[in-house]
Chains A and B, each alone.
Chain A
Amino acid sequence: MNRDEMLKKLSALDFYIIDLHLYLNTHPTDRDAIMKHNAVVKEARELREEFERLYGPLLSYNSTSKCPWQWIENPWPWQYKFNFDLAGDDK
């Protein structure tokens, strides 16, 4: 997986976690949903660690950095050039 593919997959996993999180707030005894949620959280955590190891921090806090300090490198995660393009990708 290249950088954009990793970031796209991580974004998808994070979105999935948020949606299951909202569902679980109103369905706290759905064991199957909790298992799915936990599995995806684990997968996203591993992918985030791998991404940050290769390409630098995704968060301004709670991310480790090499030397020199990587957070001040452009582009930042909220800038257009940092992100992948979802257009035309149907799967």
Chain B
Amino acid sequence: MIIDNQPDMYMQAAGDCVPQETVIEDVKLARAYVPFEIMCSTFMPLESLKKGTAFPPLYNAYGWERKGKGDDMYE
């Protein structure tokens, strides 16, 4: 097991951080908009490697882990 140095560096910044854009301006009808991701915190490097992303909001974004990790993720 590797102990990462400076774990504080990967933790969430002070205050309430929402990891995405919350207001989208100049919206028009019949258009699709994707809110911009904002980095609040990241996984530690080794956890990032195992999960495939450094960004917690992108991990298990479609909920496959709840259905049984590994077995049905490609169905």
Contact = CB atoms under 8 A, between A and B. Distances in A.
B29 interface: no
A32 B45 contact: no
Nearest to A35: B9
A5 B2 contact: yes
Q: Is the interface of A mostly helix, strand, loop or mixed?
A: helix
Given A11-B49, A36-B9, A86-B50, A16 B42 contact: yes
Nearest to A5: B2
Interface residues of A, number: 25
Q: Is the interface of B mostly helix, strand, loop or mixed?
A: loop
A12 B2 contact: yes
B73 interface: no
Among A11, A23, A86, which residue has the most Cβ atoms of chain B within 10 A? Answer: A23
A15 B49 contact: yes
B55 interface: yes
Interface in B20-75: 36-39, 42, 44-50, 53-55
A12 B39 contact: no
Given A32-B13, A39-B9, A91-B47, A19 B39 contact: no
Contacts of A26: 36
Interface string B1-15: 110111001100100
7 contacts: A9-B46, A15-B45, A16-B48, A27-B38, A27-B39, A39-B9, A86-B50
Interface of B: 1-2, 4-6, 9-10, 13, 36-39, 42, 44-50, 53-55
